[in-house]
Structure 1
Amino acid sequence: MSDKDLEAKKRHHYVWAKYLTRWGHGSKNVFYTTKTGKIAHDSVRAIVADDYFYKTTTLTEMDVQVIKGFSRKSPDRLHKQHMSYLNDFLKIQQLQNFYRQSGAKDQQAEQYFHATQCNLLENLHSSHEKKALPVLAALADEQLDVLQDHQHMIEFMMFFGHQISRTKPFRDGLIRVQPRSTALEVAVADSMANAWWFISYMFGMSIGLSLYATRHEDKHALLVNDTRVPFITSDQPVVNVHSCVSETEFVAPEYADFFYPISPRIGYIICNSERFTPGRNEVDEATVIELNTKVAAQSMMHIIGDSEIAIHPFKKYIGQRYKKTPSGRAIV
């Protein structure tokens, strides 16, 4: 067992730090809104991250049943893949339980299990990021034909799906709206919270496969922004900008136009609607302002830009859908 196997990754970014550096003018420093609503200028390492955000938990039998219940709604092939990942995690959990029950105390074993809990899911996300890196670089350079490569499209759609589901805003929003009127609903909601690290990854896989499967029906477009207003991004980097989406409630929309800003100048959108044509689309200033507004409204705390001027006009929209409870009361 190497020292690397025993090294636990503590700081987990739920938005990829390297992605954010496109707003850094060649540096790692970006402008962003803070928890108190101010605008700061600091390293991407300082934001959209929590300690142990992807740390795995011990799954109870109820947790496993909730996971399987969600997974069964997927196509058979994907359900089997979900279960294969789940079984891998459960084998490690079982091994850890055997160790605990043995009463043995071994420092190296303790370090290994802790590192495994901290690193497994983080490493999975890192692998998706690595595979998407050449695709994002090409798209930022307006080379849309990179997605003519079958493997690149598969990897980009899987990455894209996880950019929706892996974030703190997505987690907190979805768990917050779970019904808790009966004992069973409370148990399911609690299991979702405990098993979210796995459920979020499973959701990302499902979204990615769905986007790949419908790639010929949806409109995939590269948005080129040569206006004086740059694109911004946020702690929820992929947002649904379809007109049916509520900006004040966290509810499932009927349709999706998924917008992903890649840089201050380039965005990528996957549309159910007819708004953009497949391929390269130049956007006007009004469209950029509209998209930035929706990015801010669906963020929780951080919007990120390449200058203070770029994000200041959109501060007032931050977190609109997180400011009230399902009953309509303001969140303190």
Structure 2
Amino acid sequence: MLRKDLEAKKRQHYVWAKYLARWGRGTMNVFYTTKTGKFAHDSVRGIAVDDYFYKITVLNSKHIEVIKGFSRNSPDHLQQHHMSYLHDFLRIQQVEFIYGKSGTQNLQIEQYLQALKCNQLENLHAAHEKMALPVLAALAEEKLDVLQNQRHMLEFMTFFGHQICRTKTFRDGVMRVLSRQSALEIEVANAMQHTWWFLSYMYGMNMGFSLYIGRQNARHALLINDTSVPFITSDQPIVNVHSCVSDKKFTPPEYADLYYPITPRVAYIICDSERFPSGRHEVDKATVVEFNSKVAAQAMVYIIGDTVDAIRPFRKYIGQNYQSAPDGRVKT
């Protein structure tokens, strides 16, 4: 048996398995759509997961410059955080390079380096999940006042930002719309694809900070669903349900109502609009159907529910928002 610190994590979730299990009715098994469009009932351990999804890649000078270029669009203090994390990852790369040049062979060192490359980023996400766990548990029990504690709000918004940006759905959506019409655009797009593991963490950090500092201007609400239609979730669990989001064309929205189902009965929303004032609100069936449809439309493969009947009506919407992506390419 390998020591725990030498075990490279292979199966890596881009949506937290413990979160998905909230649709399991006390078990780890949920109902979900498969890649072939069928319905299945199985463990969350096989959903929204990819082999070595967070494994870091070797960064050359061009990759690093692209990262720094995007980082420079951020406030100074966030740039400092970006560069600090980048430095930590580059140290792994440097150690591996020194080992390779040494000409020695040591199985334990090689296992340790592999574990560092596979586990470092996932461990960061696991830390954010752990800090958000008590907040999500309280919200699931309709205790919105948990967020009156600023530390809880900061940890939840940090987790929230990362959960938007860390998914395969988000990554593939971004990669699909990058313009590749010139040699420079192709070079930047290829560099973004190669460095996405880091860029996604950087963007998640920025998103979380923006949500936290803007918390007084946005409306944070808890939505309670006592209708016959339960909330569902997906491989992109946080989605923009603002009316400005087009279901005809893949374009950056001007505003955001960020909706996050927490259980089949409870959801959280951060509104630019005035649709839900801050506080607790009961929603009607029409609203639940609307939000479930938008969750499915912004999913790529998986929608998840606590029964097959909960997801069946929404299977037809899966991926709808991405179908027009090639017509809405964005510049890098």
Specify the TM-score bucket, using the shorter chain as the normaliser: over 0.9
Q: Deviations over 1:230-283 (max 9, x none)?
A: 000000000000011123443211100000000000000000000001010110
Match of 1:56 in 2: 56
Residue in structure 2 matched with residue 104 of structure 1 by the alignment: 104
Question: What SS does structure 1 have at the residue aligned with 2:326?
Answer: coil
The alpha-carbon deviation at position 325 of structure 1 amounts to 4.8
**Equivalent residues in 2 for 1:165-176, closer than 5 Å:** 165-176=165-176
Aligned residue number for residue 212 of structure 1: 212
Question: Secondary structure of the equivalent of 2:113?
Answer: helix
- In structure 2, the residue matched to 1:11 is 11
CA contact (8 A) 1:248 1:322 kept: no
RMSD of Structure 2 on Structure 1 (CA) = 1.1
Shift, 1:324, TM fit: 4.4
> Following the alignment from structure 1 to structure 2, what is the Cα–Cα distance between the partners of residues 100 and 289?
56
Matched, 1:322 2:326: no
2:95 maps to 95
In structure 1, what is the Cα distance between the partners aligned to 2:31 and 2:184?
44
Aligned match of 1:180: 180
Cα deviation for residue 103 of structure 1 reads 2.1
Partner of 2:202: 202
Task: Indicate how the Cα distance of structure 1 residues 324 and 101 shifts in structure 2: closer, same or farther if over 3 A, else same.
Answer: farther
Find the counterpart in structure 1 of residue 140 from structure 2: 140
Overall identity of the aligned pairs, in %: 66
* Deviation of 1:46 (Å): 1.1
Equivalent pair of 1:174/1:250 in contact (CA under 8 Å) = no
In 2: Cα distance, 1:237 partner to 1:177 partner: 21
Q: Separation in 2 of the partners of 1:148 and 1:42? A: 37
Partners in 2 of 1:250 and 1:135 — Cα distance? 33
Partner SS for 1:326: helix
Contact between 2:144 and 2:279, CA under 8 Å: does it hold in 1? yes
Aligned to 1:266: 266
Shift of 1:11: 0.4
- Report the Cα distance in structure 2 between the residues aligned to 1:248 and 1:8, rounded to whole angstroms: 42
Structure 1 CA distance for aligned equivalents of residues 321 and 101 of structure 2: 45
**CA positional deviation for 1:323:** 3.0
Q: Is the 8 A contact 1:33 1:40 kept in 2?
A: yes
Match in the other structure for 1:35: 35
Moved more, 178-187 or 216-225: 178-187
Q: CA deviation at 1:176?
A: 1.2
2:27 partner SS: coil
C-alpha separation between the residues in 1 aligned to 2:205 and 2:236? 17
TM-score after normalising by structure 2: 0.97
- In structure 1, the gaps of 5 or more residues are none
Residue 142 of structure 1 aligns to a residue in which SS?
coil
Is residue 250–residue 324 contact of structure 2 (8 Å, CA) maintained in 1?
A: no
In structure 2, distance between residues paired with 1:18 and 1:325: 31
Could you give the per-residue CA deviations for residues 65-116 of structure 1, whole angstroms, max 9, x where no partner exists? 1111111111111111111000111111111111112222111111011111
Amino acid at match of 2:14: Y
- Give the letter for the 2:200 counterpart: S
Q: Partner of 2:257 in structure 1?
A: 257
- Asked if the contact 1:173/1:250 (under 8 Å) is kept, the reply is no
Alignment of 1:231-310 (within 5 A): 231-310=231-310
Using the TM superposition, give the Cα deviation of residue 17 of structure 1 relative to its aligned residue in structure 2, in angstroms.
0.3
Q: Which amino acid aligns with 1:42?
A: D
Q: How many residues align?
A: 327
Name the structure 1 match of 2:313: 313
Structure 2 equivalent of residue 155 of structure 1 = 155
Distance 1:58 1:244 in 2: 39
What secondary structure, in the 3-state scheme, does the structure 2 residue paired with 1:57 have? Answer: coil
